Amino acid sequence: MIFLILTYLPSLLCGMHVVRTGREMFWLWLFIIGPVIAPAFYVLAVLVPEWMGGRTARNVGKAARQALDPEREYRNALRALEDTPTVGNRMKVAQAAAALSRWSDAETQWAQCAEGAWADDPAILLGHAHALLELGRYQDALTRLEKLKALGREGQTPQVALAFARAYEGLGRNAEADDAYRFAADRVPGLESGARYVAFMAKVGRREDAEIGFAEIERRFQKIAPPLRPEARIWRDMAARALGRT
């Protein structure tokens, strides 16, 4: 009996917090079916950010919530779009679908966003191009990116250059891809641009240059704060695989 009480005590305390603060009721069901792991997730996803505050704590909480219920934001975005069918809400659906790697759904939503008065919106053009790249539709992506570039400064950012590099690579235009990757590699925050450049150089036979780029990625990876490493590791591992490493 004592063991049973101790097992469910964390769930009881967390459940009281859920009810008192008006949070989502699905937590209560999770506490019942998972009296050990569910309270642990709740502490990490809700209580720690609440106690600590700050950007890093919020990021940790968001990551924990996504691990527990990865489709939550997508469902909420769909519900908001059904209630209020605005372009802004449709963009949120597209972004949530992309976060789940549902690229076909994301592309459909971005295409609808780009209709009418929003056809020249930079965020929509870039979001649509990213979805098209993931679907392997490189020429369509390049068309969106060229339209974005024609808008001026908003179409000439490092993030846009990285998207251009991927489109050029997919179309076999390697000289143009190399120029775009080189521009983006040291300018886009995070490890994605560098990792993609390393993979590109390895693919076209520039092994020595790829090794130098990978060494820089490893150096930067070691300096990343532990809570932010899981996402960074995705790109570090991409570069490693391109070089035949584990």
Per-residue confidence band for 16, with pLDDT thresholds at 50, 70 and 90: confident
**Helix 103-113 vs helix 122-134: crossing angle, to nearest 10:** 150
Per-residue confidence band for 39, with pLDDT thresholds at 50, 70 and 90: confident
Q: Is residue 58 a part of any domain in this protein?
A: yes
**Helix 87-99 vs helix 103-113: crossing angle, to nearest 10:** 160
pLDDT over threshold 60, residue 54: no
Q: Is residue 53 a part of any domain in this protein?
A: yes
Domain membership of residue 64 as a residue range: 2-68
Sequence-distant (6+) residues with CB within 8 A of 192 are 162, 235
Q: Is residue 90 a part of any domain in this protein?
A: no
Q: What's the pLDDT tens digit per position in 174-197? A: 999 999 999 999 899 899 999 999
**What is the helix, strand, coil percentage profile of the chain, to 5?**
80, 0, 20
Q: Is residue 11 a part of any domain in this protein?
A: yes
Q: Is residue 26 a part of any domain in this protein?
A: yes
pTM: predicted TM-score of the whole model, two decimal places: 0.73
pLDDT of residue 157: 93
Q: Is residue 110 a part of any domain in this protein?
A: no
Q: Is residue 56 a part of any domain in this protein?
A: yes
Mean predicted lDDT score pLDDT of the chain: 85
Q: What's the pLDDT tens digit per position in 102-114? A: 999 999 999 999 9
Per-residue confidence band for 238, with pLDDT thresholds at 50, 70 and 90: very high
Average pLDDT over residues 25-30: 68
- The total of structural domains in the chain comes to 1
Please work out, in degrees rounded to the nearest 5, the angle formed at the alpha carbon of residue 223 by the alpha carbons of 219 and 227: 130
Distance from C-alpha of 23 to C-alpha of 15, rounded to nearest angstrom: 10
Q: Is residue 39 a part of any domain in this protein?
A: yes
